[in-house]
Structure 1
């Protein structure tokens, strides 16, 4: 089976979500702050949207990040890490959609790898969204508002993610962790 390019999947899923909600491109533009022209390009697969644009869409429509990249799934899904494409890869930060969002489950899980000295700033998710960080190896610093949390080894952290937050690997070793994102009903 040939894998579809991720931006084409995003376009197809965005169009399906928009049509299922009986929304026009104008209405989605109003909800998300993304122009009608850009939304049209994304839906047609003519544009590879930036992470910032995707966040505007998911926050405006109150959907999960992976609902834009998920495929139809059977009752058993074997996800091979080596087959995954990073959803986000920027300057030493790579995030892989390990367990994609399903509407009836209300969560998604990412496998994240951070190189030494790398940083990733995340925009606020919509109200009530929670993140669970489960460390695999290395050390991670997470800043939420004015608080900083240092995680290492097999530590875990839960927080309400409706405010900006920053992930940092402040060490000289790579770190890896899982992020479970829970979306309330």
Structure 2
């Protein structure tokens, strides 16, 4: 397992370069010396928490961004390998396939909804969009007073800032993939 200060250094350098910033620029934004930033990026220094807070505050990033694992160039995820979120007495199962991260600004799930079942969702923040791809069965999507029927092979996109319900009116388990895109986070990123 990689030491945390090495992850911090690698991630700090990646963030700095992705924004086209020099060490001088980051020093100016954060109040941390250029020399210290260089040592952190090289993994030669194990910075204090207060130094890390100055860095994340100056760059406008979350603390955990500095300690995230590097993305693999290829990731294969099987629903059998992840624990689902289960609601509606087990009739609604959402398998998290890819978690939200700052680079992609989205998260995705495989959802299984038993026949005759439904699941309600609270409104998301303004600007959040949901993309649904129905693989098996039929999904009825209720957004406010509007009802949309999406059989297998259909896709739906909607602004998710209103209450919405997923309903399975069919005789077989509905299986669909959903991608939730956080547009506000993309604008801030």
TM, length-normalised to structure 2: 0.59
1:77 aligned partner:
75
Q: What is the deviation of 1:89? A: 3.5
Aligned partner of 2:88 among 87, 90, 99: 90
Q: What is the deviation of 1:166? A: 0.4
Deviations 1:131-170, CA, capped at 9 Å, x for gaps: 0010001001000011000010200000000011000001
Report the 3-state secondary structure (helix = DSSP H, G, I; strand = E; otherwise coil) of the residue aligned with 1:78: coil
2:104 aligned partner:
105
Count of equivalent residues: 122
Cα distance change on mapping 1:111 and 1:73 into 2, 3 Å: farther
1:150 aligned partner:
149
Deviations 1:76-118, CA, capped at 9 Å, x for gaps: 3222221110034333000011111111111111000011111
1:121 aligned partner:
120
Distance 1:161 1:113 in 2: 19
Distance 1:83 1:72 in 2: 19
For the pair shown, the structure with the greater C-alpha radius of gyration is 2
Distance 1:102 1:88 in 2: 23
In structure 2, list runs of 5 or more residues that go unmatched: 1-51
Distance 1:72 1:89 in 2: 30
Q: What is the deviation of 1:73? A: 4.9
- What are the equivalent positions in structure 2 for 1:1-185 lying under 5 Å apart? 72-75=69-72, 76-91=74-89, 92-184=91-183, 185=186
In structure 1, list runs of 5 or more residues that go unmatched: 1-18, 23-62
Distance 1:152 1:85 in 2: 26
RMSD over aligned Cα atoms: 2.4
Distance 2:157 2:103 in 1: 21
Distance 1:88 1:106 in 2: 24
Report the 3-state secondary structure (helix = DSSP H, G, I; strand = E; otherwise coil) of the residue aligned with 1:82: helix
Distance 1:80 1:171 in 2: 25
Distance 1:77 1:173 in 2: 30
TM, length-normalised to structure 1: 0.60
Distance 2:116 2:163 in 1: 20
